[in-house]
Amino acid sequence: MSYVARQDRPADKASAYLEVESEILAVLDGEPNRVARMATVASMLADAFGDYFWTGFYVVDPDRNRELVVGPYQGTLGCLRIAFGRGVCGTAAESRQTQIVEDVHAFPGHIACDGRSESEIVVPVFDAAGDLIAVFDVDATTQAAFDTVDAQALERLMAKVFGDGA
Ligand code: SME
């Protein structure tokens, strides 16, 4: 397996995502455990992109009504629980839509787990039946770090790793 060099801003983000996606899928081949799959995705993406400051999952808590609880992540301490509809993660869970936030300070209700975060992307994660199982959250310490290239690549990756692959 080739090693994806850590770069703060890969010149060609789309290609970098494709490369790390194929590595992630190779590592996860035959591994059904969802925690292992989430931990591997968080680790390999954080390693591939130097500007990923906080990288990880908030999973839908089956024991609480409309609440996310922190899952596998890489980075500084994350908040433990986020209600649906609160912050960027709760908004992604509620709407089932990817959220791209260029300036977290301008997002109403943004939850600041680490004051160094400046921009953020949150992608909903669905299982093969189309049920929401988690959201995937990435924070950066620079403003406007994420765009539709990140959104499309991360949505495709989450579908391949946790969903129906489409
Ligand atoms: N900022 C997020 C909370 C999670 S942390 O960034 C790890 C939000 O507003 O939902």
CB distance 20 to 48 below 8 Å: yes
Q: What is the CA radius of gyration of the chain?
A: 15
pLDDT in tens, 113-165: 889 999 999 999 999 999 999 999 999 999 999 999 999 999 999 999 999 88
With contact defined as beta carbons under 8 Å apart, do 39 and 55 qualify? no
Ligand 1 centre to CA of 32 (Å) is 27
Of the pLDDT bands very low, low, confident and very high (cuts 50, 70, 90), residue 2 is very low
Percent share of the chain, pLDDT over 90: 87
Residue nearest to atom 1 of ligand 1 (CA): 111
Strands 67-74 and 119-126: unpaired
Q: Could you tell me if the CB of 118 is within 6 A of ligand 1? A: no
Q: Which atom of ligand 1 is nearest to the CA of 107?
A: 9
Question: 88 alpha carbon to ligand 1 midpoint, in Å?
Answer: 6
User: Do 121 and 143 touch, CB atoms closer than 8 A?
Assistant: no
* Per-residue model confidence (pLDDT) at position 165: 83
So what's the pLDDT on residue 1? 46
Q: Does ligand 1 have an atom closer than 6 angstroms to the CB of 54?
A: yes
- What is the value of pTM for the model shown? 0.93
Q: What is the enclosing helix (H) or strand (E) of 41?
A: helix 34-48
Give 126-130's long-range contacts (Cβ < 8 A, gap of 24+): 126/96, 126/158, 126/159, 126/162, 126/163, 127/162, 127/163, 128/163, 128/164, 130/163, 130/164
* pLDDT reported for residue 164: 81
Q: Which two tokens stand for residue 19?
A: 């490369």
Q: What is the mean pLDDT of the chain?
A: 93
Domains of the chain: which residue ranges?
Answer: 13-162
User: What does the pLDDT average to over 67-83?
Assistant: 97
* pLDDT digit string, tens, across residues 32-71: 999 999 999 999 999 999 999 999 999 999 999 999 999 9
In short, whether 89's Cβ falls inside 6 Å of ligand 1 is: yes
For atom 3 of ligand 1, the residue with the nearest CA is 111
Q: Give domain 13-162's CATH superfamily.
A: GAF domain (3.30.450.40)
